[in-house]
Amino acid sequence: MAAGFKTVEPLEYYRRFLKENCRPDGRELGEFRTTTVNIGSISTADGSALVKLGNTTVICGVKAEFAAPSTDAPDKGYVVPNVDLPPLCSSRFRSGPPGEEAQVASQFIADVIENSQIIQKEDLCISPGKLVWVLYCDLICLDYDGNILDACTFALLAALKNVQLPEVTINEETALAEVNLKKKSYLNIRTHPVATSFAVFDDTLLIVDPTGEEEHLATGTLTIVMDEEGKLCCLHKPGMFPPLQS
Amino acid sequence: MEEETHTDAKIRAENGTGSSPRGPGCSLRHFACEQNLLSRPDGSASFLQGDTSVLAGVYGPAEVKVSKEIFNKATLEVILRPKIGLPGVAEKSRERLIRNTCEAVVLGTLHPRTSITVVLQVVSDAGSLLACCLNAACMALVDAGVPMRALFCGVACALDSDGTLVLDPTSKQEKEARAVLTFALDSVERKLLMSSTKGLYSDTELQQCLAAAQAASQHVFRFYRESLQRRYSKS
């Protein structure tokens, strides 16, 4: 009976729960889903982390490679994030070039890295003007159940903390880089940005950590990224949708 | 029929609270708007803010592909073309922001199973680009006659290292700023429709920027009204 009502009038069904200040999965309005983190599971990557926020699962793998720095920033390395939402995670995504959602998420992660100064790009420099590290951060969603941005930010932070870079010296005579795989050091992570997403209902109610269904029914979403000092790195409010009735 | 409206919108908006160490006045750059300049789109507008210029064209309500149609409202699409190069991920992100802002105001339910396409071309970028894109999109939607529940405007503000607020920053000011915040506000209640920020700032600074943006949006809406009045009074 309830399943029938849910199919026909999903918003009304949801509103009944909201009136009692709870949600269909039993959470309070301000409660997060169970979060699990698994660090260092991918041995072929330089750093990796798997994050589960309820059902939403995102895995992040970081690979470090050499690159030549750009001429206007000869002592800065690169951090290149890429979010991939494959058809595996949800039926709404098709295979092919990255869709809009994946591109927006990639841009969001790039903004978080840039704004929060999570890594000082100068730390990635090996030899100014000649050789720098580039960290390719690949975030792949394995299961899409809402709140992808929080999960991606968390996975990225955990993976970057797990990254170990080998020591590199430039040989004076041959001008070639010599990598010492036995001597590895962790990255210097300066801040720890944490993302929190909210879904707005009927312009008045704010619920934390929306699931996929809640995101679909909401009138808008809002993501705030803060660091430990309470400074805001990013306020991502991609617009409000008008209520379904009007 | 081309109507060019140059309204000198140099405003001094005072930031009221005497306790903050901000500068005494915040001013917006000179605005200009030209409507109905392209013959093919249903509506078009060119919006100038200082040296930043964006050209917008609106097609719609028009035919929609079956895969993209929504049964009870119009499908809104935004295409943003940068000045040089191919559109990349940053453009996609901005397109999403502009599209969601437009969806919040356009009465899509009056035109179900149709598509409304907004095409924006960056002509020159001298700071506050996203705000200029939003303003151009709004003026183009009005020119096309798309039904909307409110108008919207974009306001950008920059915070530099000592906390001084500058509205409508130039590209030099944006580069030197600690944080750049862009807001989209609606005309009815000055509600915040969209926000996109860059850089680090505290939440009190956010509130102050939002208040300054809301005060500045009044001037933008007055400019819209004057330019539309001037256009329609002559015909």
pLDDT in tens, A5-26: 888 888 888 888 888 888 888 8
Q: How far is CA A68 from CA A47, A79, A82, A117, A122, in A?
A: 22, 13, 20, 21, 13
* A83-87, A110-114, B193-197, B231-235: the lowest-pLDDT one: B231-235
Give the pLDDT of chain B (235 residues) as one tens digit per residue.
Answer: 444 444 433 333 333 222 223 333 448 899 999 999 999 999 999 999 999 999 999 998 999 999 999 999 999 999 999 999 999 999 999 999 999 999 999 999 999 999 999 999 999 999 999 999 999 999 999 999 999 999 999 999 999 988 899 999 999 999 999 999 999 999 998 888 999 999 999 989 999 999 999 999 999 999 999 999 988 886 5
Give how far the C-alpha of residue A80 lies from the chain's centroid of Cα atoms, to the nearest Å: 13
Examine the pLDDT at A227 and tell me if it is beyond 50.
yes
- Read off the pLDDT band of A49 (50, 70, 90): very high
- Please state, in angstroms and rounded to a whole number, the distance separating the CA atoms of residues B134 and B100: 11
The residue ranges of DSSP E strands in A148-193, in sequence order, are 164-170, 177-186
Q: Using CA of residue A145, residue A147, residue A150, residue A156, what is the dihedral sign?
A: positive
Superfamily name and number for B31-233:
GHMP Kinase, N-terminal domain (3.30.230.70)
A235 contact B CB<8A? yes
Interface contact flag, B104 A230, Cβ < 8 Å: no
Q: Please state which of the ranges A49-58, A234-243, B40-49 shows the lowest mean pLDDT.
A: A234-243
Residues in chain B within 8 Å Cβ distance of A239: 97, 99-101, 103-104, 184, 193-194
Decide if A109 touches B, using CB distance below 8 A: no
- Number of Cβ pairs < 8 A linking chain A and chain B: 80
Which residues numbered 80-99 in B keep a CB inside 8 Å of some CB on A? 89-90, 92-93, 95-97, 99
Residues from chain A that touch B89, judged by Cβ atoms under 8 A, are: 103, 106-107, 110
pTM: 0.87
For residue range A194-210, list pLDDT tens digits in order.
Answer: 999 999 888 778 899 99
| A83 φ, ψ (degrees, to nearest 5) | -105, 130
Q: Where are the domains of chain B?
A: 31-233
Buried b (16+ CB within 10 A) or exposed e, B2-15: ebebebebebebeb
The whole-angstrom distance between A112's CA and the closest CA on chain B is: 9
User: Does B200 contact chain A (CB < 8 Å)?
Assistant: yes
> Residues B7, B223: contact at Cβ < 8 Å?
yes
CB contact under 8 A, A227 and B200: yes
Residue A226: pLDDT above 60?
yes
